[in-house]
Amino acid sequence: MKNVIILLSIAIMTISCSGNKGIKADLVIINGKVFTVDRDKPLAEAVAVRGDTIIAVGSVREISSMIVKGKTKVIDAAGRLVIPGFNDAHVHFRPLDPDYIELRYTTDPAVITRKVKDQVARSKPGQLIEGGHWEHEMFSDRKWPSKELIDAVSPDNPVVLSRADGHSVLVNSYVLKKSGITKDTPDPFGGEIQKDPVTGEPTGILKESAEGLIKTGEVKTDRTPEEEAARLKEGYMLALKEAAEYGVTSVQIPGSADFSAYEKLQSEGLLTARIDIGKALTGDIELLRQYDGLRQKYPPEGNWIRFGYLKAFIDGTIGSGTALMFEPFSDNPSTSGLAMMPYEEFEQMVTRADSMGFQIGVHSIGDKGNNWTLNAFEKARSINGSRDSRHRDEHSQTLQPSDIPRFEQLGVIASMQPTHCITDKRFCEKRIGSERSRGAYAWRSILNAGGRIAFGTDYQVEPLNPMEGLYAAVTRKDRLGEKGDGWFPGEKLSMEEAIELYTLGSAYAQFMEYRKGMIKPGYLADIVITDSDLLSIPEDQIMKTKVDYTITGGQVVYQRY
């Protein structure tokens, strides 16, 4: 609370002296359409920055007085839209592997065969072949792929190809043999080994916890440790470059990542996005104490590398047919999905971590999965007392109407990824029917009930580009466009709301709403300039919008031309 008061005092002092012509800026943006996300002053023409902080927001005349010729960098926005930097509240941000087989948007399974064959030709026997982001609902036959698709072209290499949601994988017979997975292998708790209904043999599809059975017998590469380190650094730089090109200035990683790697990048002046790193939720008190040490080392007062929240999984996904539902799936009545652990164990884990003051996020997709998550948060509050915990329901994908008001009542944040809506709507009603689909991606209903939402992408499950998320939020239509008002259009948002959830909403989810997420004096200078006015362009132009400038901490980290 003390830090918040100090920050507010700085902001107030900065505002009060913003008219002082003696104030000089390191960077100014003029002639822009500045959408500040500050409801007290939503629009402006110009912004001034000193160091890493915004010092003034106002008219061109006001801000121009802060320019020092030869010292102040001036960006003429020339009427373009200026908004806060995008803050991805749920992103699996990791180094990019140049050998990873990208299968996103594949419609012909034969493409998978060809790409695996090409990568095998570049690899030595026994070397692991990895790839992913395939979505069988996009295949022409909409059928799950099987090991036969890749066996013939990979007899001597382990192949592991993840589905787009990351909750199912396709492996070849080489991997099945190395892993000892046969027709007699039982499903592990919370997982499924998909088997041929006629022969009983594994098809090569492993769901949820069954992925943990995988053994590849991988042969290491011939690269030296120095070459491996250089390759890893290149992967980090490629990921940061992609984020900067899309205007992403902050990322919140819901699982493990390497703190030291980002520290090294920061020490070298190469870190261009702010990083929150979480850990896995656990019931192990000793491990929780280790997490507390990390929390002290990377405290919430920091602005660059911070300890995030503890993440758990309660269920799977709609696409893989593993989301935990109250009633059976419409297209597969034999299952109501999978729980990742018994509820009692889950509740105990949540309650213990809450008692130590940790923020908790839970992957929750099905209506029962979301209900369990809210129940556990409510139980923790009843035992440990109420506090500003800002626990997070990660995805909040399918909700019962009775659970929607509980987000506001419990102070739980719905951490949602709008592109999931336009990806999953292709098969959602087939999986769970029209009535239950009304509770899917219920952004408007949550906001109307007083709940808080933070937007992100779930990259690499979905593309990192925020423009796709903004398009999804305001249209609820297929990426290729379609007639009508969109899928359950009553849940659509305005563009202003969507941008706010992607900036200030995400900052609130990480307890940073007093210093990030708005273009306002005293706030961190994380700013994006786009080539099109997102607030007025037709919906079919939203995903074509490009970022012209990305500014993080007052530094231009990306310029398109």
CATH code of the domain covering residue 189: 3.10.310.70
Range of the domain at 59: 1-85+517-561
The pLDDT, as a whole number, for residue 6 is 39
Q: What's the pLDDT tens digit per position in 544-558?
A: 999 999 999 999 999
Residues 59 and 133 in one domain: no
Burial of 263 (0-12, 13-18, 19+ CB in 10 A): middle
Domain boundary among 187, 213, 239: 213
The pLDDT, as a whole number, for residue 21 is 60
Both tokens of 392, joined, read 């997070």
Residues 131 and 204 in one domain: yes
Q: In what order do the strands lie in the sheet with 555-559?
A: 43-44, 33-35, 81-84, 527-530, 547-552, 555-559
Residue 78 maps to a domain: yes
Which parts of the chain sit beneath pLDDT 70? Answer: 1-21
Residue 507 maps to a domain: no
Residues 55 and 109 in one domain: no
Domain boundary among 166, 182, 213: 213
Average pLDDT for the chain = 93
Residue 347 maps to a domain: no
Q: Which residues pair with 86 in a beta bridge?
A: 248
Domain boundary among 172, 197, 213: 213
Residues 140 and 183 in one domain: yes
Q: Which residues pair with 275 in a beta bridge?
A: 251, 305
Residues 29 and 58 in one domain: yes
The pLDDT, as a whole number, for residue 14 is 43
SS3 77: coil
CATH number at residue 71: 2.30.40.10
d(CA 531, CA 552): 18
The pLDDT, as a whole number, for residue 228 is 86
Q: How many folded domains does the chain comprise? A: 2
Residues 51 and 111 in one domain: no
The pLDDT, as a whole number, for residue 3 is 47
Residues 81 and 109 in one domain: no
The pLDDT, as a whole number, for residue 311 is 97
Residue 474 C-beta-side C-alpha neighbours within 13 Å: 24
DSSP 491: G
CA dihedral of 16, 18, 20, 21, whole degrees rounded to 10:
180
Positive or negative CA dihedral for 399, 407, 511, 499? positive
